[in-house]
């Protein structure tokens, strides 16, 4: 089995957190705050986007389908 192909499609949750989120027009909406993983399937169910606020104060959160 070629392990290179197996890992090429994977990314760690730590690398996803903090990634900027953009709309279809290219406008910045916020960033990925966390990812929620289904305990039974092991698959990511959704990401949580944080937006608004200043220096972590007043941030709001919104789930994003994965």
Sheet of 60-65: strand order equals: 20-22, 28-37, 44-51, 60-65
| In contact, 33 and 50? CB cutoff 8 Å | yes
CA 38 to chain centre: 14
Residue of 28, 7, 27 lying closest to 18 (CA atoms): 28
Please give the pLDDT value at position 1.
47
| In contact, 21 and 28? CB cutoff 8 Å | yes
One pLDDT digit (tens) per residue for the chain, 66 residues? 455 555 778 888 888 999 999 999 999 999 999 999 999 999 999 999 999 877 767 889 999 998
Q: Where along the chain do its domains lie?
A: 3-65
Please give the pLDDT value at position 30.
94
The model's pTM is 0.74
CATH of domain 3-65: 2.30.30.240
Please give the pLDDT value at position 44.
93
């Amino acid at each position: 089995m070629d392990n290179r192909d197996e890992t090429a499609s994977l990314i760690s949750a730590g690398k996803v957190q903090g990634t900027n989120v953009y709309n279809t027009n290219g406008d910045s909406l916020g960033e990925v705050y966390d990812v929620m993983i289904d305990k039974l399937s092991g698959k990511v169910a959704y990401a949580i986007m944080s937006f608004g606020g200043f220096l972590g104060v007043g941030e709001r959160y919104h789930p994003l389908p994965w």
